[in-house]
A and B are shown apart, each in its own frame.
Chain A
């Protein structure tokens, strides 16, 4: 074999391997989605949205879990995102290159990939232990802590994308930075910030580990924020690992609902971002 053919062969082998790796990655996504659809679709019915989680062997749905997930995710975003947006504003507008900002940026990136179960333990220690019992509000706090890094990161990035000229014009009119931020920068970066919020919702709505020992779970309908509350991920966890066929079926249906919701959220966030970039590219 000549040197030339050997080099060509090596090249061919590695490029083929890279193609195979890509195919396998896509196959995994397809396999997961297919499993969810084929197992979950049979459980899809109105019962899911009108009835409570049943005892083993009983008829039922996921209404309390869906409600609980919606409430805690919403509360998590309501608590977490203002903090994330304000902190992102500080980094983009006031702090910039100060040592404090560098540290915060670094810590935020660490929090972004920190294991969510650790956040669960943290909230358990500072909220559940203090209150003496599990509660929906503790679950919402845990989700809020997870939402902060996502919104902070996107807010800072999006504010940095706003053309400097707009900021300067506002300052030239005599506006103070707070006025510029509220009346010029936030409106200009609005869709970017909304993207961050969507990503944060997508991130926290599927989280299970931080809810296990904060919100716990609840077999029944409950709107009391001060008491344990049912939520979809923990119900899926509990039902999927149970030996009961009808519980497992509900788990699959729940898994399908949660995944479709999150994928739709992620895709809309991406579309919004693409639109934003297209707009930036053509205008100005």
Chain B
């Protein structure tokens, strides 16, 4: 372990180096370099089967890496001291069906070595205070998910690792969960959140890591990943409009998407392209400045081959 005096030399709560997991011939996670800064909400984005859950399990010490290293809260994964300072929700929340929600949290509090008093606070934080005496087996999926978050909050952890926290929730439940995550981040928690929902990540994450086929293909803020915007032009006939645009900006700066033109140009170029198209007798039906959303960035990075796995809910919101 690092010496106490080395703590705080960097502000990464999670840092991986060449993290790799191989199952037989299949590379589930391939050389992942992940860094999560203190105080941020980090979105770990990827389609189903991309390696998100395996990576999170390695960070929790549930699965041993084939190669590479990871530091979680300055300790190797699974270190009891570090585990005491983190809360987690991995996939579907798993608790004892014969115990009430409150007793399930009491069990977790004992494992953590914290007082039972924290149990009531955690139940209240997720609006389960009045249903705490009911058996876990009778909970709805949304209540189970909220109990999972309550368990993650026990012991006031600095770091929360949440694997698909809105999985299986109805729209209202998803909105509540996202609001809860933002409020936790506002209270100083650092959150690593995996999701296959682009809109979700775009809404609540400060930084995003995109994983595809086990590899971390991009990492940055949402704004960085989206990059520059473009001028979007819809004109009739579109193929003549394309010729005019290519003369003005060069072919490499003109792309055609669904019979619309996307021009790598500045917003102030709008008047010029409009004038040239009209002069050429081309009808301009739409001309606007557009920024890319995460969906497009994601499909570009992953080659678009896995688009069917991605849930686009919320992107249009």
Chain A bound to chain B: no
**Chain B residues engaging chain A, CB cutoff 8 angstroms:** none
